[in-house]
Structures are given as C-alpha cells and as structure tokens.
Amino acid sequence: MPELPEVETVRKGLLPAMEGKLIKRADIRRPDLRWPFPEGMADRLTGARVLRLGRRSKYILADLSTGETLIIHLGMSGRMLINGLGTAEFHNNPALPGKHDHVILDMEDGTRITFNDARRFGAMDLAPTDEVEDHWLLKNLGPEPLGNRFDEAYLIGRLKGRNMPIKTALLDQRIVSGLGNIYVCEVLHRTGISPKRKAGKLSEARVATLVPAIRDVLGEAIEAGGSSLRDYRQTDGELGYFQHSFAVYDRENERCAKEGCKGIVTRVVQSGRSSFYCPTCQR
C-alpha cells in the first residue's frame, strides 16, 4: 500500500497523538504480522515515552525513552488509526477492536492508536535506538529520495551497467528508498521514459531528469496527503487525494494526461507488477 508519501502522511498524523506521550498500555492481539513480534513487545512498550517519531523510507520509527526504537512498516494494507476512526467496524461499535486490529496502543491521555492490517504484510520490531540503522530491515536501504545524498551523480552511478528495466530499478529499495509502484509509474511518465527501457542504457542526461521528477512527485503527493485507492487512509480515516493527479497509474485505456499527447495509457506487467505508461510520449 503505502509508499513514502503515505507513510510520511501517517507519521505527521501520529505526531500530535504520540510524540512526547507515554504509552500506558500495549495490547498485542496476535503473535505476528509478516514476522513474529519481538519477545515481550507489550512489556517493552508499556510505560515507555515516545521521544521522537521519525521516518526512514517507508518505515515509521518511534524512539522510546527506554533506549529502544519501535520500527513500524505498513506493508500493503496497514493503517495507523487514532481513536478507531476509519476501521470497517467503526460504525458498529468503536469501543470494540475490529477483526484486523492487531496492535493497540493506549496513550496516557486516553488516545488510542490502532494498527489495522487486513493482509498482514506489515511488520513491527524493536531495536536499540543507537543501532537502528543497522537493523536488518533498514541497513540495505538506499538514500532518502528527498535527502541530500540522493542526486544526479549518485543515480547515474547506481544505474550504470544495470540490465534491468528502469521501472524495476526504481522499485529497488537498495538503489533509492521510498518509491513504490504508483510513484515510479508517475515519475517515468513525467520524464518521458518508457518503463521498459534498460536502466543502464539510458543517457546520463535522461537519468539526471529522474532526480528532480522524483522529488517533485513525492513532494506533491505528501502535500496531497498521499494517494487513496483501496486500503490507504490517513490517521483520522480520511482519504488522501493525490490519486486525482495521476497521469498514468490505474488509468489503463484512458487518454494520456500530457498536454497535446493523444496516446492511450497502457498496462504491462514487469516483474509481476503492473506498469502504466503512455507508449506515445514515453520512449
């Protein structure tokens, strides 16, 4: 589900409810999501204060007063909801946890944070805060696309000699971290690059155009509160609205959104994932 803009939107929504607040009670309602929860997670969270709520790529990182950091990944369908808003069960009885409410954090001021994840591809783990960058889930992540370490020279270097399609390369979190299927499709459309083009065969000039395009698309999506297609919700249950700005994603057989282009958006499958693009203006 959530790519960087959605995760960042969720983090911002959680900030007032979590940062600086004490976790009064942690209810872990099943033993695992994608992987088992760490040993004694409920006890390690109970009584901890959230010192800082940060983000690395698609991971939300809650630094705790215990010296540990809670690592949260939303997978495809994960939601973090405040006071039960936005769950399917909300309309029936907001006091009862829903079927897919797997972790519930009750904060000292009475606010309830619920991790809801139907598909359970999400994950949570705890690691010492001073070693969190070396955690196995985080240590191989490429640079933040909105950070200083991500620039034209870096991307040119990383794509050099690579035989995979540019679409696949931009989805590889080791090359650049935070992009997912939606935003890669949108970035490639903006730059006029076909998703099928081999990454290592693009000219340096064309690769260079990807960097500002990635920054722009992600920045605009964050401003719009992310994209809501099926599962994604903000922490208050509200939808994001960047999906109204899609030029190609989820627009198969529709007219290309580029000014003056008469192409029709086409869907192809690459490494098992849908790519949407305009064969007329993306070459």
Partner DNA sequence: ATGTGTTCCTGTCCGC
Partner DNA sequence: TGCGGACAGGAACACA
Site for DNA, rule CB under 7 A: 1-3, 6, 34, 57-58, 73, 75-77, 88, 99-100, 118-121, 137, 140, 161-165, 168, 173, 180-182, 200, 226-232, 271-274
Give whichever of 92 and 163 is closer to DNA, judged by the CB atom.
Answer: 163
Give whichever of 116 and 191 is closer to DNA, judged by the CB atom.
Answer: 116
Give whichever of 260 and 272 is closer to DNA, judged by the CB atom.
Answer: 272
Minimum distance from CB of 55 to DNA (Å)? 12
58 is a catalytic site residue: yes
Minimum distance from CB of 260 to DNA (Å)? 27
2 is a catalytic site residue: yes
201 is a catalytic site residue: no
Active-site residue identified among 2, 5, 145, 195: 2
36 is a catalytic site residue: no
Q: What is the DSSP string of the chain?
A: ---HHHHHHHHHHHHHHHTT-BEEEEEE-SSBSSSBPPTTHHHHHTT-BEEEEEEETTEEEEEETTSEEEEEE-TTTEEEEETTTT-GGGGT-TTSPPTTEEEEEEETTS-EEEEEESS---EEEEEEGGGGGGSTTTTT----TTSTT--HHHHHHHHTT--SBHHHHHH-TTTSSS--HHHHHHHHHHHT--TTSBGGGS-HHHHHHHHHHHHHHHHHHHHTT---SSS---TTS----GGGG-SSTT-TTSBP-STT---B-EEEEETTEEEEE-TTT--
Minimum distance from CB of 21 to DNA (Å)? 26
Active-site residue identified among 56, 58, 112, 233: 58
Active-site residue identified among 24, 94, 273, 279: 273
Give whichever of 65 and 274 is closer to DNA, judged by the CB atom.
Answer: 274
* Catalytic residue annotation: 2-3, 58, 273
